[in-house]
Amino acid sequence: MNDDGVYYPIWGTCLGMEQMTTWPLDPPQNLLSNCTGAEAIPLPVNFTEDASTSKLYGNAPSYILDTLANEKITPNFHSFCLSMKTYLSNPALRSFYTVTTTNTDSSGLVYASSMESKQYPFYGVQWHPEMINFWHSKKVERGITNSMSGAMVSQYCANFILEEASKNSNSFKTYAEEGRFLFNSYHSIYINMFETYVFTDSDVPDFD
């Protein structure tokens, strides 16, 4: 769609970013590394040289960048990741994506924690910006806490992808068609403490 002139942004969080790593590979393959040293921990990010010219971080306010770089603010809940060793050794990944931040898990593995496509409006973050506002007390003992600065980082990411999405000119033909794609038209369940929307044919409401 982007090649045909339709601005179609994609944002991948955690598993979403992991799946995005397969896109440049022909045939698609799993090049992820075991990254269990980044389970349920908050981390500051390490900005790469390309971050200052990236879409996500290049125009970010200084207080957002300072928070990300200096506070343990990014929630990490992943068992796998794209190691920088793999990224740097794979020409297809290097030509398609720019890594904008990195992190190091407790075993010393350096991995890509943010990336974006060089050609398309595709953005991936291994951490969870949407979760910063919703920690519960049991996570506090792991160093994960609520903070105003964290909430502002979360909102910045949400505003960024909202602005990107507003550049897309597609629209639904009818209210009924639009209704089939609204999250609140579906049932949600809790999986591992996270509210999850499950999309099945039986859940699709009849708007006609």
Question: Could you say which of 35, 78, 81, 128 is catalytic?
Answer: 128
CA distance 92 to 99: 13
Pick the catalytic residue from 14, 35, 81, 157: 14
**Strand residues in 19-121 grouped as ranges (E):** 33-34, 39-43, 46-47, 74-77, 80-81, 97-104, 110-117
- Cα separation of the two ends of the chain: 29
Q: Is 136 a catalytic residue?
A: no
| Spatial CB neighbours of 178, under 8 Å, sequence gap ≥ 6 | 172
Backbone angles phi, psi at 174, to 5 degrees: -140, 165
Q: State yes or no: is 157 an active-site residue.
A: no
Residue (of 164, 58, 47) closest to 99 by Cα position: 47
Q: Packing angle between helix 62-70 and helix 148-165, nearest 10 degrees?
A: 120
Sign of the C-alpha dihedral computed for residues 54, 56, 62 and 67 taken in this order: negative
CB 135 within 8 A of CB 146: yes
CA neighbours closer than 13 Å in the CB half-sphere of residue 41 = 13
* Residues catalogued as catalytic: 14, 128
